[in-house]
């Protein structure tokens, strides 16, 4: 159907004549002599123009000052609209609010400067486990500025308000004991809401690095909760603001003095690290890290990594690792692997593994070997991230086994799942990384549950991988030791439960995981020694159930993301985790938006982070 035919089809019957152009008559002719409209003469058109101009305050256009070529029925409909909406239009104008946006104060900071500092000053750097952005000295300066301006006055600096309230909220939860955490959490969230009320202003009117710092301070708070949807949105906002300001461009730093350059670089790299962290944990596409970035920045020589004593800090190590992690994600993404042949995949995996090992070899003895025994989480997170990335590289190679063997053709406990040496070696490396992750967890000093919660995904993902290794070959020499490592995590969770930390659901599930591992080993031993009375045990899980669990774990491609499905509020990851672990979790299903293991304490809506009408 031609365009003019479509127009005619939309008109009331009898109106499809002279006023419309056609292929034979491309110009508009005079109005129809007998149009079926309310009125089509010049007087009516004049009344329309006057009505529109007077009622709506519209200025007639040049074309309206001469005889209109618009069909009469269209003009008359506009007149009818103006007449019909006149009263409502006047009501809207009378009741509209033309004032600017207002932010709300949900909780007031202490009026005494010393009261703020006594809570925050000793731990302000501990609150930033991904790298120090706000030093103790800069924190003192911020608090001093706020007190001089009046503790409740934020108009001059929304960034300062966001940083102060976010870190103060984090400090409250960091210093709370397990049994007091639930009581103090609503107040801490009120301080965070003070900061978040400035979010629209920061992302729309932020013009300098302080706006980025404010958003990063918010991320540091929400990262310790299970609300990944909120965390990811703030992280995305800060990466976009970094790009808007140009912090990812070398030329941005040419005119800055060394102190200002260091501040901006620290902010940039912290945003980069958090962007990559979200990529690793949740499979979000990273916003930062294009080729121009790689060409223009050498993070090892960046002044932004030096502490005040001149030594290189954790921020540099984490940033260098993040660059490699970003590269691994780009080159070994499943969408790219499907277009590679076997040799190409092995070559890229070998190259990525070599880069990781070179990075590790450049770390100091203190950072690598003694780091996990530190009182701070920063080095522990560094180790966790390294071992997870090593596992991710080699899991790309392990994925080749799906093309060589159907999971239904494998036999539980016969060690036949990895006949290809390269696949065998890759799987062995993944299992070693899982063991090392459990070891790092065991060396960790006691931590506040608020900050520890966000790290549990790493040892839990290691437990899932070790269970898969046991089910693939329960007769292996390492199977019993790996079951013992799963039990280590169970013991770790029991310790948290004893400190009034809400890990009940995770603990119950991990006890079941350990039971499954032990049952698989016992069933194998009973099959190997049918006449051994010591080996003959009554299985709590049938061989068919073990095989079902093994087959589902066999298809897992990313263990960290599998773990996150039970620890966050991401619908896709949650559904996948519940499907893969359905034989273990049984009828236990998550209620609401969060994964099964999430404590009520870490669900943001329970802290009244919600939106009223």
- Is 100 a member of any domain? no
Domain count, the chain: 3
List pLDDT tens digits, range 369-397. 654 555 678 999 999 999 999 999 999 99
307 and 190 together in one domain: yes
**Predicted confidence (pLDDT) at residue 328 exceeds the cutoff of 90:** yes
Say yes or no: 437 and 561 in one domain.
yes
Judged against a pLDDT cut of 70, whether residue 108 lies above it is answered with yes
Q: Quick: pLDDT tens for 1-32.
A: 444 443 344 444 444 444 444 444 444 444 44
Mean pLDDT of the region 275-282? 97
**Does residue 496 lie within any of the structural domains?**
yes
- Residue 8: the pLDDT is 46
Span of 45-59, 80-94, 284-298 with lowest mean pLDDT: 45-59
Strand partners, 168: none
Asked, for residue 197, whether it belongs to a domain, the answer is: yes
* Domain boundary pick from 325, 353, 368: 325
Predicted confidence at residue 306, as pLDDT, reads 45
Q: Same domain, yes or no, for 526 and 504? A: yes
* Same-domain check for residues 34 and 154: no
Task: Calculate mean pLDDT across residues 77-88.
Answer: 73
Q: What is the mean pLDDT of the chain?
A: 83
Is the same domain home to 251 and 371?
A: no
Same domain for 390 and 488, yes or no, is yes
Q: Is residue 488 part of a domain?
A: yes
Domain for residue 280, yes or no?
yes
- Decide if 108 is inside a domain: no
pLDDT tens per residue, range 492-504: 999 999 999 999 9
> What pLDDT is attached to residue 587?
79
Q: Which domain holds residue 90?
A: 3-95
Q: Please check whether residues 317 and 407 belong to one and the same domain.
A: no
Measuring CA to CA, how many Å separate 23 from each of 3, 28, 33, 72, 311? 10, 11, 22, 21, 79
Same domain membership, residue 122 and residue 37: no
Are 131 and 87 in a shared domain? no
H or E element that contains 205: helix 199-205
Higher pLDDT, 110 or 418: 110
More confident residue, 606 or 79: 606
Task: Among 299, 325, 351, give the residue marking a domain's end.
Answer: 325
- Among 325, 343, 358, the domain boundary falls at 325
Mapping DSSP onto H, E and C, the string for 286-347 reads CCCCCHHHHHHCCHHHCHHHECCCCCECHHHHHHHHHHHHHHHHHHCCHHHHCCCCHHHHHH
Neighbours of 69 (CB within 10 A): 10
Whether 104 maps to a domain, the answer reads no
Asked if residue 200 has pLDDT above 60, the reply is: yes
pLDDT score, position 26 = 45
For the whole prediction, is pTM greater than 0.75? yes
Burial class (CB in 10 A: 0-12, 13-18, 19+), 142: buried
- Report the distance separating Cα 80 and Cα 283, nearest Å: 54
* Domain identity same for 539 and 602: yes
Same domain, 366 and 470: yes
> Residues of the chain with pLDDT > 90: what percent?
62
CA distances 402 to 242, 339, 349, 409, Å, are 41, 15, 17, 11
Instruction: Assess if residue 73 is contained within a domain.
Output: yes
Whether residue 450 is found in the same domain as residue 530: yes
Q: Give the pLDDT confidence score for residue 78 in this predicted structure.
A: 61
């Amino acid at each position: 159907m031609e365009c003019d035919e479509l127009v005619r089809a939309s008109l009331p019957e009898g109106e499809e004549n002279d006023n419309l152009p056609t292929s034979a008559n491309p110009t508009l002719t005079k109005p129809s002599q007998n149009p079926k409209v309310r009125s089509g003469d010049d007087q009516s058109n004049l009344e329309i123009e006057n009505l529109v101009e007077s009622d709506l305050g519209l200025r007639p256009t040049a074309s309206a000052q001469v005889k209109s070529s618009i069909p009469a029925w269209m003009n008359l409909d506009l007149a009818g609209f103006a007449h019909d909406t006149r009263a409502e239009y006047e009501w809207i104008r009378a009741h509209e609010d033309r004032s600017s946006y207002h932010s709300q104060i949900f909780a007031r900071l202490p009026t005494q400067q010393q009261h703020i500092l006594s809570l925050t000053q000793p731990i302000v750097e501990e609150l930033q486990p991904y790298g120090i952005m706000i030093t103790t000295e800069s924190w003192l300066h911020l608090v001093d500025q706020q007190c001089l301006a009046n503790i409740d006055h934020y108009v001059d600096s929304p960034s300062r308000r966001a940083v102060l309230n976010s870190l103060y909220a984090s400090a409250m939860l960091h210093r709370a004991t397990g049994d007091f955490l639930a009581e103090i959490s609503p107040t801490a969230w009120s301080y965070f809401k003070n900061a978040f009320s400035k979010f629209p202003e920061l992302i729309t009117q932020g013009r300098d690095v302080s706006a980025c710092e404010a958003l990063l301070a918010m991320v540091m708070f929400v990262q310790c909760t299970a609300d990944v949807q909120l965390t990811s949105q703030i992280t995305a906002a800060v990466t976009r603001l970094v790009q808007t300001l140009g912090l990812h461009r070398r030329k941005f730093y040419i005119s800055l003095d060394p102190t200002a350059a260091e501040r901006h670089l620290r902010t940039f790299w912290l945003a980069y690290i958090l962007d990559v962290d979200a990529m690793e944990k949740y499979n979000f596409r990273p916003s930062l890290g294009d080729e121009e970035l790689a060409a223009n920045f050498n993070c090892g020589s960046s002044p932004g990594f030096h502490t005040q004593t001149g030594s290189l800090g954790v921020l540099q190590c984490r940033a260098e690792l993040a660059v490699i992690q970003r590269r691994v994600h780009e080159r070994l993404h499943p969408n790219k692997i499907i277009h590679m042949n076997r040799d190409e995949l092995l070559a890229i995996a070998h190259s990525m593994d070599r880069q990781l090992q070179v990075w590790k070899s450049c770390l100091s003895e203190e950072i690598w070997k003694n780091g996990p025994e530190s009182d701070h989480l920063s080095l522990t997170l560094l180790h966790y991230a390294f071992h997870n990335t090593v596992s991710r590289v080699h899991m790309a190679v392990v994925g080749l086994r799906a093309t060589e063997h159907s999971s239904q053709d494998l036999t539980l406990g016969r060690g036949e799942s990895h006949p290809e040496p390269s696949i065998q070696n890759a799987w062995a490396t993944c299992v070693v990384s899982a063991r090392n992750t459990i070891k790092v967890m065991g060396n960790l000093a006691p931590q506040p549950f608020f900050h520890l919660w966000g790290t549990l995904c790493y040892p839990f993902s290691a437990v899932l991988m070790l269970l898969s290794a046991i089910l693939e070959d329960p007769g292996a020499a390492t199977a019993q030791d790996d079951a013992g490592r799963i039990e280590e995590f169970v013991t770790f969770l029991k310790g948290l439960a004893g400190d009034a930390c809400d890990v009940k659901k995770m603990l119950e599930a991990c006890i079941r995981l350990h039971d499954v591992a032990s049952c698989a080993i016992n069933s194998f031993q009973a099959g190997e020694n049918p006449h051994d009375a010591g080996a003959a045990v009554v299985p709590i899980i049938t061989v068919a159930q073990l095989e079902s669990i093994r087959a589902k774990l066999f298809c897992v491609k990313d263990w960290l993301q599998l773990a996150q499905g039970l620890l966050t509020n991401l619908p896709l990851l949650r559904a996948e985790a519940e499907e893969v672990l359905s034989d273990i979790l049984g009828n236990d299903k998550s209620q609401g938006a969060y994964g099964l293991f999430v404590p009520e304490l870490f669900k943001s809506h329970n802290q009244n982070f919600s939106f009223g009408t």
